[in-house]
A = this chain, B = another copy of it.
Amino acid sequence: MNSEFTIAVHSLALLAHIPEHMASSELIAKNVCTNPARIRKIMSILRKNGFVKTKEGIGGGYILACDPNEVTLAEIYRSISNGTLKPHWCSGDPQEACQVSANMHGVMDQIFTEAEMYFTKYLEQITIQTVLDKVRHGCQENSQQ
């Protein structure tokens, strides 16, 4: 799994943090610590899935288009990183006579697919708002909000 899921969650939490405001890819990129092109790529997917609205041109950018209390990290994961829990490298060789070697690939595939379902079942419990509350709570001592 690469970090696009993490970036998507971060970006959506940030947009939920500043509702009513458009945020440019440059602003989000600074907050996330990456480059604007990467943010635009990810936000483009999130737009196609209805999580954000975008506006091109002057004063444009991104704004949340969903209820942060409704959208769970599971939906975000499925939009961005579905199927990437399993490592790329594959064990065994389908051409081998030995059953263990020949079929291990398929068996591990099946195991990782089901494991991903358990993984996302956990993510169902967490909403964008949950994440936002957690980050806000993290620095409560020196916060005035």
Please name all residues of chain B whose beta carbon is closer than 8 Å to the beta carbon of A107 when the two chains form the complex.
131, 134-135, 138
Q: Is the CB of A14 within 8 A of B89?
A: no
In the complex, the chain B residue whose C-beta lies closest to that of A6 is B91
Known: A10-B104, A121-B118. A135 touches B99 (CB 8 A): yes
Known: A87-B3, A139-B103. A134 touches B110 (CB 8 A): yes
**In terms of DSSP, what is the predominant structure of the interface of chain A?**
helix
B interface footprint on A105-122 (CB within 8 Å = 1, 0 otherwise) = 011101100110011011
CB distance from A133 to the nearest CB of B (A): 10
Q: Is the CB of B6 within 8 A of A87?
A: yes
A98–B135 Cα distance when bound, in Å, is: 10
Mark A residues whose CB is within 8 Å of B: 1-3, 5-7, 9-10, 13-14, 17, 31-34, 73, 85, 87-93, 96, 98-104, 106-108, 110-111, 114-115, 118-119, 121-123, 126, 131-132, 134-136, 138-139, 143
